[in-house]
Amino acid sequence: MSLKFDLSTAESAFNKLPKSENGSISVEDLKVFMEKYLEGAGDDMVYVEPVDFVPEPEGFLPKVENAEVRTWALEVHALWKNLSRKVSDEVLKRPELHTLLPLPKPVVIPGSRFREVYYWDSYWIIRGLLASKMYETAKAIVTNLIHLIEEYGHVLNGTRAYCTNRRASQLVKRSLPSLVKEHHFWSSEIHKVTIQDAQSYNHTLNRYYAMWNQPRPESSTIDKQSASKITNISEKQNFYREVASTAESGWDFSTRWMSNHSDLTTLATASVLPVDLNAFILRSTAEHFLKGSQARMKAFKSIFWNSEMGQWLDYWLNDSTCQEPQNWEACNQNQNVCLLMSTGKPGLGSQRDQRMQLAVQAQLIGLDTALVKKVMKSFQSSGLLFPAGIATSLANSGQQWDFPNGWAPLQHMIAEGLARSGSKEARSVAEDIAVRWLRTNYVAYKKTGTMHEKYDVEKCGEFGGGGEYAPQTGFGWSNGVVLAFLEEFGWPQDRKIHC
């Protein structure tokens, strides 16, 4: 919501509102204030007609032979029109009244409460736009991302002023000068960590670390409530930084980042070297920084790879300040697994915390046939594959980035990596993942008339839940992955689409 008056005027009026003994403001007074001083939610983004949209693009999804599936795919394709926006001229005229950041080109928003651009959403939106032959719209999104790098030195988690302290996973590869700038950003300051492996070789890797120690402006009430039992000011500020760092990752929230699965205040995202973040950086720099990418690949083998499990695992730091190089310890690979295994139940540790590091495995394999087979075996025994897709984890915590939710980008990363590994068996598994995911998306769409942000992998045709907000619809990356899967694998005439 943008301001109708300058910030000092609105702030002064807010401070004069009558408060009760506990400092709260009545709902009625707050409503009056909002009507007088704030514009409507979403007014800073306005609808724009995509310049390259046609109802049925030439050469659209040639591998889709089933008429029912093709009809649905065209309906998903048509959703790009609903999600197309541009930044309002008012933002350009009076940027100081808005939290939304100006962008030079039109955008495609995720949907529902997400009315601005998000970095990693954009990647799968672009993949869908390419399948829809909407090349100008895709180009505009990339142009906006490059603009953010040029303006801030990195792509933001989201295009709001309060996100300028948060980075996002590195996915831009198009513009070399901007790529160099963003790579320098990730390779410096607090998000760079040095780990010394068992052979005394130093490796430089990356983590999420938001320069922020207050409640998130977009979720202030929720964050304050979550921190209400923390009495120490320093500890409370640290918790807020961990929350913001988790928002950087896009996995907000998941037991992946928690030392105690039942307690959100044990978030320790800044103490985790995420295997997927480092894989994104590896892939995006390999073409242009050969020496650096080779060093990072060596780090993957030394720091992240767990030969016994056949997986690359997150690495937990002993000290999040990272003042000095840290020595690699085997038990710090995915710390939650180690804690569970220390109870004397190794099966529980390796089963319960299998999670989406498999996505990274899928992105890194392809050079070694034996490694492909090992990763395949690890995936098939992980317990993550369900009737309606791959679960984000097997921890049923109530957090949205945990069981039983499945998310479009993670399905796509795994399936695409397996499909491109060079193994026929792996490609077959990839297609099976895509079929399960497409079916649940289709059935849910037919039941509800919309595409959803996340899905319940236990029940075909059911959307997901959990987390700190109501389930969202729209939905940019879900649409993109559906179209990308149909472009890659098609849909035979005789294959049923219903569950």
d(CA 228, CA 233): 11
Cα-trace Rg, the chain: 23
∠ CA 414-418-420, rounded to 5°? 120
Let me know if 180 is exposed, middle or buried by CB neighbors in 10 A (0-12, 13-18, 19+). middle
Catalytic residue among 44, 248, 252, 353: 252
Closest CA to 284 of 130, 361, 383, 170: 170
Provide the b/e sequence for 447-486 (b: ≥16 CB within 10 Å). Answer: eeebbbbbbbbbbbbbbbebbeeebbbbbbbbbbbbbbbb
The DSSP letter of residue 355 is: B
Q: Which residue has the tokens 């005439």?
A: 493
Contact yes or no for 274/314 (Cβ under 8 A): yes
Provide the b/e sequence for 14-37 (b: ≥16 CB within 10 Å). Answer: eeeeeeeeeeeeeeeeeeebeeeb
Partners of 203 in beta bridges: 195
d(CA 330, CA 378): 19
Let me know if 498 is exposed, middle or buried by CB neighbors in 10 A (0-12, 13-18, 19+). exposed
Catalytic residue among 242, 453, 462, 487: 453
Residue type, 402: D
Angle between helices 424-448 and 476-489 (to 10 degrees): 130
Closest CA to 273 of 226, 198, 329: 329
Residue type, 26: S
Closest CA to 270 of 202, 339, 218, 193: 193
Partners of 420 in beta bridges: none
Query: What DSSP string runs through 447-495?
Result: HHSS-BSEEETTSTT-B---SSS---BS-HHHHHHHHHHHHHH-B-TTS
Output helix, strand, coil percentages for the chain, rounded to the nearest 5: 50, 10, 40
What length does the chain have? 499
Per the annotation, the verdict on 252 as an active-site residue is: yes
d(CA 248, CA 347): 32
Per the annotation, the verdict on 308 as an active-site residue is: no
Query: What DSSP string runs through 211-276?
Result: S--S--GGGHHHHHHHTTT---HHHHHHHHHHHHHHHHHT--S-GGGBSSTT-GGGB-GGGEE-HH
Catalytic site positions: 252, 453
